[in-house]
Structure 1
């Protein structure tokens, strides 16, 4: 039977800041004026609406309202990122966004990811502004989140973008989450495990044998050999189980055969 993408426990919050809930106090002293949200409706017609009109609208499932563009000052090129969460491609305007999309795809609390599905227009302190938040996601509880990639350097423009995001979220019944870009060993491990995120048919007996081999913490290569499953098959299965969070690892150590893994809580 095909392996499920993952199960239901949370992503270690190493590089993720918690979502900012609607209860957070947001100053209205510098509130943006004449805020409009552009998005595609169910017929893929462009709509410009007040933020409050977006309550209950599944904008995360819509395409961007206009052609995406790469952002200045962000390394990489415009490209889509395939996500297991959506079983399809998500728009990403930079390598930094792709790396955050990988974190979102790994988070079992997220059930849908939309890349740049809305464009915000408003009157700011320096005149008219427009901006596309990086992602809108839907969680297992049905809540919607505006997900923003934390910039390498903040500044007045970022603060204004963040303020208008809060303003829209409060009116639309959304939340705001600012995500740091994964880097270093964690990024390398995520990218390695992500190579095994597509569902493939796996014999239940093989999966159970590999999981049984990791009922205690041990090196990945050692456990794969001890499982009784052909080594190459077992090793691939270990990495799939890491992506699905059925096996835990130490994320500050490279995901190599000598790294250790163990059966995750709740996977037994």
Structure 2
């Protein structure tokens, strides 16, 4: 899952510079010291930047329906859309907002930073996510991410940079998207799935009682929800190996 990893702050990175945070809640704009943001519900804040569209725009903007949250969330690129799909399939995520804050650095930096997403987790923790394709992470981006990671570390927030490097991952998630619907959702995971290691075809056969199609759909639904782990950076097929996700 996306939030299983974090952007590591370099050892030589000091505490984040004193800064201010701007946000908009219920159509009212606020600016506070970074030390006072702990109780702000950023997951309910409005985007601090608009998502304009114009003819010939290089990046595609839109809204994605997050089934797990029952709401639309904005994205400004297909990579951000992929990130939202990952957040939608993470059972630990209870709320997501898009670009809910400006971090205005307190030094002579002329620019602030608006992280791409803020997520609230089931245990109450906060997670900040930036999105950048791996091939586009240059030295400037790394400095921005290091600084934002230090800012999040000082607030005890999780910080993740979503940096996919393959279109296959996006294609797999778009295929799995249909299996997030309630009709495929397993209330109780079948006993045959627990501890399983093997191919999707083998699992569907183990589950089958004559209706293999429905059991293939169940397999794909379990991959979507993370109950089963598959390598989504290679094309999904019936020969794809999956394994039970150990918890606890």
With normalisation by structure 1, the TM-score equals 0.72
Distance 1:222 1:166 in 2: 42
Residues 117 and 219 (structure 1), Cα distance of their counterparts in 2 relative to 1, 3 Å cut: same
Structure 2 residue aligned with 1:138, among 114, 120, 128? 120
**SS of the residue 2:110 aligns to:** strand
Q: Which runs of 5+ in 2 are unaligned?
A: none
Distance 2:236 2:46 in 1: 35
Q: Which moved more, 1:191-200 or 1:163-172?
A: 163-172
- What displacement does 1:150 show? 3.7
Q: Which runs of 5+ in 1 are unaligned?
A: 1-10
Structure 1 residue aligned with 2:224, among 243, 246, 249? 243
User: Residues 88-135 of structure 1, C-alpha deviation per residue, up to 9 Å, x if partnerless?
Assistant: 22221111211222233333443322211112334654x632331111
Residues 212 and 58 (structure 1), Cα distance of their counterparts in 2 relative to 1, 3 Å cut: same
Distance 2:11 2:43 in 1: 23
Distance 1:51 1:244 in 2: 35
Corresponding residue for residue 5 of structure 1: none
Distance 2:243 2:152 in 1: 39
The answer on whether the counterparts of 2:184 and 2:218 sit within 8 Å (CA) in structure 1 is no
Higher helix share: 2
Distance 1:106 1:161 in 2: 28
The answer on whether the counterparts of 2:184 and 2:221 sit within 8 Å (CA) in structure 1 is no
Corresponding residue for residue 63 of structure 1: 46
Distance 1:167 1:223 in 2: 44
Q: How many residues align?
A: 242
With normalisation by structure 2, the TM-score equals 0.76
Distance 1:78 1:251 in 2: 24
**SS of the residue 1:196 aligns to:** helix
Corresponding residue for residue 6 of structure 1: none
- What displacement does 1:155 show? 3.0
Distance 1:141 1:19 in 2: 20
Report the aligned-residue RMSD: 3.6
- What displacement does 1:183 show? 2.0
